[in-house]
Amino acid sequence: MGTPGTAPAARPDEGLDTGLAAFLAHLAIERQASPHTREAYRRDLGALRDWMAGRGLEHWPALDGAALRAFVADEHARGLAPASVQRRLSACRALLRWLLKHGVLATDPSAGLRGPKAPRKLPQVLDADEMGQLVAVPQEVPLGLRDRAMLELFYSSGLRVSELCGLRRADLDLAAAEVRVLGKGRKTRVVPVGRFAREALAAWLAAEPAPPAAPLFPGRDGAAITPRAVQKRVRQLALRQGVWKRVHPHLLRHSFASHVLESSGDLRGVQELLGHASIATTQIYTHLDFQHLARVYDGAHPRAKRRP
């Protein structure tokens, strides 16, 4: 029996379902992963469990390196996109390392295994003019104060949609021009809030007084607005404001990161602001910055005129 507050460790003689359930409990209790993250692991690892069961591999120690390679190859062969196979393999690695740590496995079957190479997709961004057009929500219309404050904060501070939805009024310090955010892995960071966002937030807070523990952006029932509701609202606002790109909350985060990096060149600073655990995640914005410079070069240099 495990100690209170810890996930039960799976044993070598336990079946696939029991070991998987113990790992998912570990994610929930010890790593405090979000429901969305746990569901993604459940889906990806469920595919591995079903694949193993279909081949008579009834316990986790039966999964060796050759079997795991065959699983990855089968997933790719049945049409799963390379990025999805990579994500599935990453979930498998997390489970297998946990089983190794708890003595269920003698070796890690995923050691040295690589998934199919996925083409690198650069995120789309809004330029500064498009961002200005998007956030210029008339404040006199219904929900105008809230919507403008929400969009300004998204772009000003580069928040994830889950981070914005989780904010309480006490997390916002307009005098210090900062907001305290609970990010991935339940890690807290403090990020700056720009002048336009502070003005919009001050107008919103003055119009809707509430205690410090109240959600900064409540939904219809008074509870915190949901990520799905924010996604839908951002799309509606983009259309209303005449921004014809497919706008979603993460696009505002991408735009924030790209614009800050373009102006500052400080990759480590952008990493801190975004709350990325690895700078490799942040480096994608250097490619966006290079694309911008390449366009400037092509348009300005008399002997450039490179083909696309």
- Give the residue ranges of DSSP H helices in the chain: 16-29, 35-54, 65-77, 82-101, 128-135, 144-157, 161-165, 195-207, 227-240, 249-264, 267-274, 279-282, 284-300
* CA atoms within 13 Å, Cβ hemisphere of 118: 16
User: Which tokens go with 35?
Assistant: 């429901």
Q: What is the pLDDT of residues 80-137, one digit of tens each?
A: 888 888 899 999 999 999 999 988 888 998 888 877 776 666 567 788 888 889 999 9
pLDDT attached to residue 272: 76
Say what the pTM is: 0.57
Cα 270 to Cα 288: distance, rounded to the nearest angstrom = 14
Task: Give per-residue pLDDT as tens, 13-61.
Answer: 467 888 899 999 999 888 888 888 899 999 999 999 999 999 999 889 9
Structure tokens at 134: 């998007």
pLDDT (tens digit per residue) in 216-237: 999 888 899 999 999 999 999 9
DSSP 169: G
| Domains, in order of start, for the chain | 16-101 (1.10.150), 128-299 (1.10.443.10)
| Rounded Cα–Cα distance for residues 225 and 107 (Å) | 45
Catalytic residues: 160, 184, 250, 253, 276, 285
Closest CA to 141 of 241, 246, 248: 241
Phi and psi at 266, nearest 5°, equal -95, 90
